[in-house]
Amino acid sequence: MKNRPFGERIRFALCGVKEAWQRENSFRTQGVVAILVVVGLLALRIPLTWSAIVILAAALVLAMELTNAALEAMIDRLHPERHADIRAAKDMAAGSVFLASIAAVVVGLLMLFSLYSIW
C-alpha cells in the first residue's frame, strides 16, 4: 500500500486517530487534556512562541500514545501469550509516553514561571 495518493494517506491517518480514540482510554484522556490546554492558551492570550511550544509538547504526547497503542495492538495480535520480552517491549513503549508527558508538564510549568514570574 505504498505510494498511495495524498488524500488517501490522510484518510488512513485520520482512521488511525479515530481508532485510538475509540479503543484507548489513555488517548481520550490525553486528547481532552490537549484540547483544554489549547482553550487555556487562547483564553489567557499566551504569546505565540509559548503557545507553539506547548502545542508541540501536547502533540508529542498524543503521537507517542498513538505509537504505543499501535505497538501494543500489533504485539497482542502477533503474540497474545505472556512473555517477558513482550512485557518489556510494551513497558518501553509506555515509558516513551510517560517521558513525553513529563516533558509536556515541564514545558507548561516553564511557560507559567516565565510569563507570571512565579520562579
Domain at 26, CATH number:
1.10.287.3610
Q: Report pLDDT for 80.
A: 85
Q: In this structure, are residues 27 and 65 in contact, taking their beta carbons and an 8 Å threshold?
A: yes
Which residues contact residue 69 at a Cβ distance below 8 angstroms, ignoring those fewer than 6 apart? 20, 23, 24, 26, 27
- Asked if residue 82 belongs to a domain, the reply is yes
pTM to 2 decimals? 0.89
Q: Give the residue numbers spanning the domain of 96.
A: 6-116
- Asked if residue 69 belongs to a domain, the reply is yes
- Asked if residue 1 belongs to a domain, the reply is no
Number of domains in the chain: 1
Question: Is 24 considered catalytic here?
Answer: no
Please, is 71 exposed, middle or buried when counting C-beta atoms within 10 Å of its C-beta (0-12, 13-18, 19+)?
middle
- Asked if residue 94 belongs to a domain, the reply is yes
Task: Give the integer Cα–Cα distance in Å for 45 and 84.
Answer: 48
Residues of the chain with pLDDT below 50 are none
Task: Give the integer Cα–Cα distance in Å for 5 and 10.
Answer: 9
Catalytic residue among 8, 65, 72, 81: 65
